Every structure is written in structure tokens, then in C-alpha cells.
């Protein structure tokens, strides 16, 4: 093993930017940022795990860099940092720890020996530095070749036409019978023609992938032999997770191939990205990369020393640090330009607006840098508008270019169909949440309307369980939320009672139809259309088995009807622009001078002010005018539509609804009925204005109003 200064490889000065490892001029240029280091070595790891250390003597703007001749793509490497060690002040330079390059395009290996990755002895803040060498126990960076498979033309789906579909790369195809076994659970599995055919038949326009940045499991999971299945534990923000590749070392090529296949089918690819924390955890966690390079430049520090945590994970990336701002924007730009990604969903995005951990600022340096970047401005940008603190709950508070996961929509939709919400809030959610988004230059499609997501019950479980059942997670059912807003329809869990099963299917269809017919952008959880269950587990973040994997083999009547129903409603939404308004209704009238949106009582009368405060009201009738919906073709021409009547009835007993008078429709035709398993109404004969329409208990009806 060669040590510092002993390498015989020629080293030139190179350049500080871009950061990372880049093949050029017969070698590789290395560049890594550390403002606290006194010396930095790049360490080349041979096939026999021997190490060659090369000192980077050039430092520019706090970046250590050098061009090492004779190095080629495929070379494994890491960094060793020499300098001050004072953990209480955020200084953890320890050359015994081999560090992953934060800008590595490929990362190989895993954390195999946890104790070797600790930079301290005894106490993480006051103990002496560890002298145990971590080589052989930690992941390694790999020099990547530039370029790869063409990712195809981006579909550029207008946001108001988008239907999002949240997907886990591994879980989605792990049990798919048509996918070759070695490709199941991989990027290539998601690119398989049978899988893409499912997406096309369903009608979704955009897949939102759970984290695919390189994942490293947290210490508590490693100790118990479990893994972070969801992937919200990032080690490398530039490297696709190697565990989702069918062949080692080909994750970049396979990721690009997946993107190209989806683009060819007209489907966008969004990534769920985790720029609020890393896998290194709190003070006592392992030192794998950021902590050892420059803890103070990456992580929030407490006022009296130690790390500050507003994410609930032990550490928080500091959105006010230039090092973090640069890394996040460089990472996003790489995925958008080099790997063809169409947009991003930002986990705990409120953290990105809290530089230094202070109060939220929608115009913070990091949030502004993202929206003002020319390469990112055309991407779909979606915020999860909260963090682990009360200050971080910011639904409706992001700047104009941001869409948001609308947590209030989720709660309201769930509450209404279980009989526990007032209709005022429901009306706001159905019509685009103007109370949250209309006053800051945003559009209704910036409300991401969802009922279920990876975090919580599946749709089937939402109507089958009152309580969480998370025993498989190894935390004695203490993890996961208790605020599920669910209703089991009369019995907990799986049951043979036909009446309860029918009611559950109807409630699921009500929830699915509500989110797809509401103004805004709907997001579905993958597998809900296939009647997927997790057995009541509402926090299966560490469950990598059949609990979390989609079952493509089930042929139950419930699964078939749920898919038929979901695809039917998505097709209705796509064909009817009035059901996906690009502008808020508020304050706008049609070309005839009539209102563009009306609300009615079941008796056919317009809702009065006092009706909105009737806490016992369980029926709401919504009329949408289609003549002035302001939807446009790709060329910018206005697209007219029929008017529509949506009847939502959450009461247990049937009700008769009087259809509005001829001003709102000369004829009304029923096109969707959630009391029918596939949603196809038994009677589609046109109905007269003022006639009575029977509505089954707990049902949603959609009628076309012809003029």
C-alpha cells in the first residue's frame, strides 16, 4: 500500500470546476470541496483492494483539485481529509476514514462494518478520533464514463393534463411475470414493454419514482438486518442506486434506457429527491462522505455545538450554505440534462426554505436558485411543503413556480367520505384549492391532489383498517402515524362478508373518482388500481418483501373492476378539459355572462350562505361550465367542452337529487356511477332538467350537461 506522497502517477493542477471525477486529457480530473481541510488525498483502490494515495495540492475557492494521469473510467476511489478534529465545533477531519465523493456518478459497495465508519472513539462529541481505517468497510466512488444511451425527447406534458403515478422501482416489477427474472425490480424492469403497456392502458402521463439516488441504510436498520426500502437515506446525490441495476456498474446506462423507453411511450419521469438530510445521521452516526469533508459546510449546527435536526433523521442539510446550494443545483441539473429527467418532487421541501434552520422563506437562496436555473425552470417542481417541525408546515406558502403535495386535500377527501368534514372545505378542494394558491400567481394544477401515497395506507387498506398494523417494521407498532382518517367499513382487515367488501370497493371508487375529477393535478399510488394491500402497514419503509411488492398475479373481481374504473375515469378526465381547469374559477364568468361554477343542494336550489355551515350536510352538487374552461391545445387554441355535474353523496342512505334547471343543461346524461363496480351506469338515457335522480348511499355520480 502506498501512502501520501508516494504515488508515481503524474499529477497536474487541473481545474476546480465542475466538481467530481471527470475523465480528460489521458487521465481523470478530481475536484472536491472542503474549506476546513489542511490536506486532501484522492485514494485509488485497486482490484485487490490495495490503495494508492495521491495528494491534491491545488486549492481554489476551497476546492481541492488535480488531474491524475493514467486513471481511466471504472477506477474505484475515495478521499482522505487531513485537518482539525473538534466535533463540538463541526470539525471531523480524520484521514482514517475513506470518504465517498459527494459528486460521484457511480458508487459501489455498502457499509459492511458500522464501527469502522465511526470517526470517534467513545463519545461522538468529546471522544478522541478513531484510528480504525474504514477501507473495506464503506462504499467507494467510481469514475464514470460520460454520456450513454439517448434518453429521447421529453414529452413536456402540460401540468393541467398530467396524471401522476408514484412508483417504487424495485417493488413495482419485483413480481411481474413478464419481466425476465434478472430484470425484476430494476430500471430495465420498469422499461419492459409489458410494464409500459400497463401504464399506457391505465392512462397515467407521469411516473414519480421514489428515491433512486444512491441509498445507504441507517445504523439501526443495519444492526437489525433490515434495509431502507423506500430509499429516503441518501449517500450520493449524483449516482443512481446500484441496487436497481440488473448488472453491476451499469446503473447509469440502465437508468437512461428506462427514461428513453418511458419517453417513447409519452410518459414523463419525475424523481423524488431528498436534499434535506443524508444517510450519515446525527452526531453518533457513521462518517461516509459529507461529515468527514466539511461538516459545517453541509449540515445545520446547533448554537452550542453539535448538529441541529429539523428533519427527524438526526441531521439536516443547511439550505443557507453555498456548498449545499451548489451541490443541490448541480445534482438537479445533472439529472435533468444528462439523464433526461422531467421534474422533481422534493422531500421535506420546507427545509430548503429554512437557511440556518430559521423561519421559512419562500424566496430563500436555495429555492430561488432552483427556480431560476435555466435548465430547471422547464422542469416540473413539486414541494412536499412540510418538515418535522410546526414551523415547517407550509402548505400553500411556496413561491409561484412550485406545485405542492396538498396535504389538506388528502385529509379533506378522506374525511368527507368517512362522514367527518364540512362541505365548505370540500368545495375548496374540489375546485382547485383557491384558498391556498390563488393569491400568489399560481394555478390550480399546482395543487397535487392525492388521497394515498407511499407514506400511509394503500387505497384498499384505507377502507379496510381503522388502525395501523406495523408489527413487521420491528418497532412494536409505535412507528407510523395514528392520524389515518380511515374507515374499515365495519370490520378490521380482510373479511369474507360480501356486504362489507362491496362497501369498501365503493368507498375506494369514491376516493379515486374524487381526486381524478377535482380541479388540480391528481397523483395515484402505484398499485391502488390493482387493489393492492399492505395488510394495514402504514409505514412499510423497511419492509422489502411481498408486503411492499405489487402482486401482478391476482385475478380477483375487485382488482379487475378497480383497474377498469380507474382507467375509465382517467380517460374521462383526459377527454374533458372542463374537468382539469388551468385557471381558477373564482371571479370568472362564461361568454354568456353566467357563472363558471355553481353549487346546489340536493333539491336543485343554489347553495345559500347558511348551507355552507350545516355540519350535517353530506351531499354536494357541483356544476362546472365547459364553454369557457380556458383549456388550450399545444398550439394555444381554446378548447370548448360540455358542462358537467358532479354529485357527491357521503350519506349512508340513498337520496334523490333534483337536476338543475335548463340554464345549466338542456339534457343531463349519466356517465359515471361509483355504486357500480366498473363505474358504468346502468341507465344512460338523457334526463330532463328538474327531474329527480336517485343516488345510492355513499356514491359519486358524474353527468354530462348538454346545451
Positions annotated as catalytic residues are 347, 384
- Contacts with 196 (C-beta within 8 Å, 6 or more apart), sequence order: 261, 262, 265, 267
- Contacts with 569 (C-beta within 8 Å, 6 or more apart), sequence order: 512, 513, 516, 517, 672, 679
Q: Hey, what's the cell of 9?
A: 502517477
Q: Which residue is listed with cell 411543503?
A: 385
Q: What is the C-alpha to C-alpha distance for residues 489 and 486, in angstroms, rounded to an integer?
A: 9
Residue 424 is inside which H or E element, if any? helix 423-430
Neighbours of 193 (CB within 10 A): 11
Q: Which residue is listed with cell 365548505?
A: 424
In DSSP terms, 344 is beta-bridged to 271, 381
| Helices 251-264 and 193-202, axial angle in degrees (round to 10) | 40
Coil/strand/helix, residue 658 = strand
Instruction: Report which of 402, 483, 485, 387 is spatially closest to residue 436, judged by C-alpha positions.
Output: 402
Give the torsion sign (CA, 203, 243, 222, 357): negative
Question: DSSP letters of 446-479?
Answer: GEEEES--SSS--HHHHTT-SS---GGGTSTT-S
Please say whether the beta carbons of 311 and 299 come within 8 A: no
Residues written for the chain: 707
Say which DSSP state 568 is in.
Answer: H
Neighbours of 615 (CB within 10 A): 10
Q: Which residue is listed with cell 441496487?
A: 243
Dihedral, CA of residue 117, residue 455, residue 407 and residue 572, to nearest 10: 130
- Sheet order of strands, 597-600 included: 597-600, 619-624, 643-649, 699-706, 667-673
Please say whether the beta carbons of 68 and 28 come within 8 A: yes
**What are the φ/ψ torsions at residue 387 (nearest 5 degrees)?**
-135, -155
Q: What is the C-alpha to C-alpha distance for residues 3 and 449, in angstroms, rounded to an integer?
A: 56
Q: What is the C-alpha to C-alpha distance for residues 467 and 644, in angstroms, rounded to an integer?
A: 37
Instruction: Report which of 500, 503, 461, 510 is spatially closest to residue 481, judged by C-alpha positions.
Output: 461
Residue 560 burial class via C-beta count within 10 angstroms: exposed 0-12, middle 13-18, buried 19 and up: middle
Neighbours of 7 (CB within 10 A): 18
Chain-centroid distance of CA 266 in Å reads 20
In DSSP terms, 31 is beta-bridged to 20, 65
Q: Hey, what's the cell of 352?
A: 430548503
**What are the φ/ψ torsions at residue 120 (nearest 5 degrees)?**
-125, 165
Coil/strand/helix, residue 167 = strand
Amino acid at each position: 500500500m502506498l501512502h501520501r506522497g508516494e504515488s508515481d502517477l503524474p499529477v497536474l493542477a487541473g481545474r476546480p470546476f465542475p466538481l467530481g471525477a471527470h475523465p480528460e486529457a489521458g487521465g481523470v480530473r478530481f475536484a472536491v470541496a472542503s474549506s476546513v481541510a489542511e490536506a486532501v488525498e484522492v485514494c485509488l483502490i485497486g482490484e485487490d483492494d490495495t490503495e494508492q494515495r495521491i495528494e491534491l495540492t491545488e486549492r481554489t475557492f476551497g476546492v481541492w483539485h488535480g488531474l491524475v494521469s493514467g486513471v481511466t473510467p471504472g477506477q474505484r476511489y475515495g478521499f482522505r481529509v487531513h485537518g482539525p478534529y473538534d466535533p463540538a465545533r463541526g470539525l471531523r477531519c480524520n484521514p482514517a476514514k475513506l470518504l465517498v465523493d459527494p459528486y460521484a456518478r457511480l458508487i459501489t459497495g455498502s457499509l459492511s462494518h458500522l464501527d469502522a465508519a465511526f470517526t470517534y472513539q467513545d463519545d461522538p462529541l468529546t471522544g478522541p478520533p478513531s484510528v480504525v481505517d474504514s477501507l473495506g468497510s464503506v462504499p467507494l466512488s467510481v469514475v464514470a464514463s460520460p454520456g450513454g444511451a439517448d434518453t429521447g425527447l421529453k414529452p413536456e406534458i402540460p401540468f393541467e393534463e398530467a396524471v401522476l403515478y408514484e412508483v417504487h422501482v424495485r417493488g413495482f416489477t419485483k413480481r411481474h411475470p413478464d419481466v425476465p427474472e434478472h430484470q425484476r425490480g430494476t430500471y430495465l424492469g420498469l422499461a419492459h414493454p409489458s410494464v409500459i403497456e400497463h401504464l399506457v392502458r391505465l392512462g397515467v402521463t407521469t411516473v414519480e419514482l421514489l428515491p433512486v439516488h444512491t441509498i445507504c441504510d441507517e445504523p439501526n436498520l443495519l444492526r437489525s438486518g433490515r434495509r431502507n426500502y423506500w430509499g429516503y437515506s441518501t449517500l450520493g446525490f449524483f449516482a443512481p442506486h446500484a441496487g436497481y441495476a440488473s448488472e453491476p456498474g451499469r446503473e447509469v446506462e440502465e437508468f437512461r434506457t428506462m427514461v428513453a423507453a418511458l419517453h417513447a411511450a409519452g410518459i414523463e419521469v419525475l424523481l423524488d429527491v431528498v436534499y434535506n438530510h443524508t444517510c450519515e445521521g446525527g452526531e453518533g452516526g457513521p462518517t461516509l462522505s459529507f461529515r468527514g469533508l466539511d461538516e459545517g459546510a453541509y449540515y445545520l449546527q446547533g448554537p452550542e455545538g453539535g448538529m441541529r435536526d429539523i428533519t427527524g433523521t438526526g441531521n439536516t442539510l443547511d439550505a443557507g450554505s453555498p456548498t449545499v446550494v451548489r451541490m443541490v443545483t448541480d445534482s438537479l441539473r445533472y439529472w435533468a440534462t444528462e439523464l433526461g429527467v422531467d421534474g422533481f418532487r422534493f422531500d421535506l421541501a420546507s427545509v430548503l426554505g429554512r437557511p440556518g434552520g430559521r423561519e421559512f422563506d419562500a424566496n430563500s437562496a436555495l429555492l430561488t436558485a432552483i427556480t431560476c436555473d435555466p435548465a430547471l425552470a422547464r422542469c416540473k417542481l413539486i414541494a412536499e411543503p412540510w418538515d418535522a417541525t410546526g414551523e415547517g408546515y407550509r402548505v400553500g406558502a411556496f413561491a409561484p413556480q412550485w406545485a405542492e403535495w396538498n396535504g389538506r386535500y388528502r385529509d379533506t377527501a378522506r374525511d368527507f367520505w368517512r362522514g367527518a368534514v364540512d362541505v365548505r372545505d370540500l368545495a375548496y378542494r374540489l375546485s382547485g384549492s383557491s384558498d391556498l394558491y390563488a393569491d400568489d400567481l399560481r394555478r390550480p394544477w399546482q395543487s397535487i391532489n392525492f388521497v394515498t401515497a407511499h407514506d400511509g395506507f394503500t387505497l384498499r387498506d384505507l377502507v379496510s383498517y381503522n388502525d395501523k398494523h406495523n408489527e413487521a417494521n420491528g418497532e412494536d407498532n409505535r412507528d407510523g402515524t395514528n392520524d389515518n382518517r380511515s374507515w374499515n367499513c365495519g370490520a378490521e382487515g380482510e373479511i369474507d362478508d360480501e356486504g362489507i367488501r362491496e362497501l369498501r370497493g365503493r368507498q375506494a371508487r369514491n376516493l379515486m373518482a374524487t381526486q381524478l375529477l377535482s380541479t388540480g393535478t391528481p397523483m395515484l399510488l402505484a398499485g391502488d388500481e390493482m387493489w393492492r394491500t399492505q395488510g394495514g402497514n402504514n409505514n412499510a419503509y423497511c419492509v422489502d418483501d411481498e408486503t411492499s411488492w405489487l402482486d401482478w398475479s391476482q385475478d380477483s373481481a375487485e382488482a379487475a373492476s378497480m383497474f377498469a374504473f380507474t382507467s375509465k375515469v382517467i380517460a374521462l378526465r383526459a377527454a374533458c378539459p372542463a374537468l382539469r381547469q388551468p385557471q381558477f374559477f373564482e371571479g370568472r364568468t362564461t361568454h354568456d355572462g353566467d357563472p363558471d361554477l355553481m353549487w346546489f343542494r340536493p333539491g336543485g336550489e343554489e347553495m345559500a350562505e347558511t348551507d355552507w355551515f350545516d355540519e350535517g350536510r353530506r351531499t354536494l352538487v357541483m356544476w362546472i361550465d365547459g364553454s369557457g374552461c380556458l383549456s388550450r391545445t399545444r398550439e394555444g387554441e381554446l378548447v370548448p367542452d360540455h358542462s358537467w355535474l358532479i354529485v357527491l353523496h357521503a350519506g349512508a342512505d340513498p337520496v334523490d337529487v333534483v337536476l338543475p334547471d335548463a340554464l345549466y343543461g338542456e339534457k343531463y346524461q349519466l356517465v359515471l356511477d361509483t355504486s357500480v363496480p366498473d363505474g358504468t351506469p346502468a341507465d344512460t338515457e338523457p334526463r330532463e332538467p328538474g327531474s329527480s335522480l336517485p343516488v345510492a348511499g355513499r356514491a359519486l355520480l358524474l353527468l354530462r350537461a348538454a346545451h
